[in-house]
Amino acid sequence: MQDDAVLFIGFHPEELDVVRQRLPEVASLAAEDGGSGAATALVDVTYDMLSCTVRDVLTAGATAAAGSYGTSADRVAAVAVGRVVLLVGPAARELGGQLNDALAEWGVVPALIAAYQPQHEHTPLRQLVAFLRDSHAAYYGLLQPVRVEQQPRWPKAGNGGDDSEVAAATAGVPTAEVAVAGGSGGSSDEAADAAAGCDAAGCGRYRRDAGHVVVLDGLLSVSERQQLVDWLTSPQHNHAGPPPLDKWEMVCVDREGARPTWGLQPHMLSALRDQPPPPVVALQTRLAALYPEYDICHMPADQISDEYGAGGDGTDGDGDSTPLSSFVANAVMVGDPCAWHVDADPTSVPPHSPWVHNFGYYHNRELCRPLFVSVLLYLNASWPEDCHAETLFLDPETQLGLFVRPVPGRVVLLEQDLPHRISAPSLEAPGPRYSLVWKLVFVPRDTAGGPPGGLPSEHVPGSSNSGLSGSAKGKELGRTQQQRQEDGEVGTGCVMASTV
């Protein structure tokens, strides 16, 4: 077995060509800092090597075969396992402190860097990579599961307005009516195949993509919605005026220099995540039941932001000039500024973020990757049509879109890279239009089988697998024929059907 080697796991051939050329620069810098400057071998770990131990890879002469990149399918599979740089030997470990900064400077996506330990000797690389990624995610708090009840309780049909409208859990989730609009017109299997067409390992190839908006009515009961409004304001609060100053402040901005609008104070945002009121836990529990193929986690805002946000603007999201948060609350009033924005995008996370080191850069909805999802809840007890303040969704290329009315208790799920905004409330608005937004990460549970690269329509209420009771309905918009490359979005498309 070689004394010193650097194992690159889950990297593209183009990246490794750059690394081979530039890695001696890092060794020289390490030597200037007192390192040995000893030579280290670079090993390209392909998918078929993941069942081997580090000793097996090095003693089998894998270094000599480093130029053999394997098939494209192997590359996709290796990237899905994770991007890890494993430092074997003392000379290799000397490179670790500067390697990620060097990768970013060279235009190579940073990775999780770890030192090989003797206790890893008999551990297959696939298992070792999983262990290192899990340990890294736990250390940085990247995956923080939402709090859920042991069993979901579902609102009864009729929405009576008291606790009697919440039904105990049954063996299955009751079904409900569903209408689906948009998409390619194909089956859910075809949608999954399209999403799998080009993962990050495609590296320059096009892939077909479709974004989704899912609208659910009846996910919270009337009494649960009112209980949450009282928690966010107070039971005696006059909702004809601005929100209470002990919980809210003028902090949300659409863009730098814009006039701030109402948002929750930090202690309230922290409480929503760490000590959530019962309606928040109930909604999280029902979402987890609707999407059992995912682990639903809070977005680790402090680990993916660079002291900037991607919304927080009083427009059902965060803003470009405010810190990213796991929750956002808005109380939008007449005259408040509103603009198009996206909530977050995994392609825009800062390169020094632990999120990038663990999961890499990828487009939202890529197969086997965490999905950035926002969940929007409308909170007002009533909101007449003449008051406006709908949430608008836009396809940038076709300049088509749709709007969702703020029906009391309505829940909207959207993938966070979809452009959206709120339309301004009209002069007839009786007071602020309240909403609460969860910033979530849907983490696929079965990375081997690969769940759909997005919110799957087969788990929208009304399908054979899951649903809601009585008046609950789900509606889905698909952005179709959207083509992207590894280095950016190429095109989008939007189809809307008259059945919605």
Domain residue limits, the chain: 5-140, 146-491
pLDDT at 396 over 80: yes
Residue 66: per-residue pLDDT: 42
Residue 277: per-residue pLDDT: 98
Residue 385: per-residue pLDDT: 95
pLDDT at 182 over 50: no
Q: What is the pLDDT of residues 97-108, one digit of tens each?
A: 889 889 989 999
Compare 317 and 130 and report the one with higher pLDDT.
Answer: 130
Residue 397: pLDDT band by 50, 70, 90 thresholds? confident
Nearest to 252 by CA among 233, 238, 265: 265
Residue 449: pLDDT band by 50, 70, 90 thresholds? very low
Please give the CATH topology (third level) of the domain spanning 146-491.
Jelly Rolls (2.60.120)
Contact 57, 86 (CB under 8 A): no
Amino acid, single-letter form, for residue 458: E
Give the residue-averaged pLDDT of 237-263.
89
The token pair at 344 is 């977050």
Give the residue-averaged pLDDT of 309-318.
44
Give the residue-averaged pLDDT of 475-483.
35
Nearest to 142 by CA among 289, 257, 28, 298: 298
Compare 340 and 170 and report the one with higher pLDDT.
Answer: 340
Compare 165 and 340 and report the one with higher pLDDT.
Answer: 340
Q: What is the pTM of this model?
A: 0.81
Q: What is the pLDDT of residues 195-223, one digit of tens each?
A: 333 344 345 556 677 788 999 999 999 99
Q: 215 forms bridges with which residues in the sheet?
A: 412, 475
* Distance from C-alpha of 378 to C-alpha of 220, rounded to nearest angstrom: 11
Residue 474: pLDDT band by 50, 70, 90 thresholds? very low
Residue 176: per-residue pLDDT: 35
